[in-house]
Chain A
């Protein structure tokens, strides 16, 4: 069953096509990678799904319902959460507060309730904090809960972004270059985490990644973009040997020579 379907998605900036006629069917509970050289339009694609950009044409369906025309926060409510290529944490907030913000749309805690300390609100807040703490344990950041997010190391910031995103209880999680800047050890931990989220949290994962080892190891299915167009799709083995993909990455001569 497809949880996310993208049909004919196109984005034009001025006269420039950033994405042209992208079609994707993403199966529920799968891990899908979107790869391609720099400037291929991968992040633009994510931005359209999360309603940061409005598509020029085409449709995005989550469980059969169109997301086009929604506001970014509504998309989150529908069940899509994301991380960012250039980490976007709330730097001045603590690690735990960052995760709590992720719970915004499902946390039943109105400001009126907070003002009068209504039992319902207090209860919801207390539980949310415990849940947030467990999420931090899950991604391995529990000890740093009171630290300012801006003070974390690069790898920890990336994991915090993931914890914050899954706090939103997404059905689909979009990871934008989660392994960028990580050392092999951290990447290994990340790989395990992604696997775990799929199996234990039942989240469908779509990731943009340049680390081919990670992509080949983890993905069920891969889409390749180049110059905003989809040039190939298939299982990791198919993609590995696809001449068009190799050409896109290494240039024209590479295919002839090797």
Chain B
């Protein structure tokens, strides 16, 4: 019996193919993959890299809750959520979400729900490094 939920936090680069292979399902006609990458500018400043800190056991629990809610709300077959920790360079992958469903509408909606909710609830923190300093994103007014 294949797993319907797969959540993972890794210090090492994420593999799109690994996430895809874990999500593909013979009963489903669509997989929606969201890949979050690191961009080189934010708020007019040049970004050199990010550093992600994670409260790993709680983050995995919250990621699992999101996957369960996505399956419950949208009737999708499978949800994978993979997130990086540590140093992540420009263009590198910070997060991959894969949602598999019988028809495409459900997987698009569930994938959007998963990334939006992850950004609100999962205890992961992004430190953004600029040429002239660094700061915790969203921490200060």
Decide whether A and B are members of one complex: no
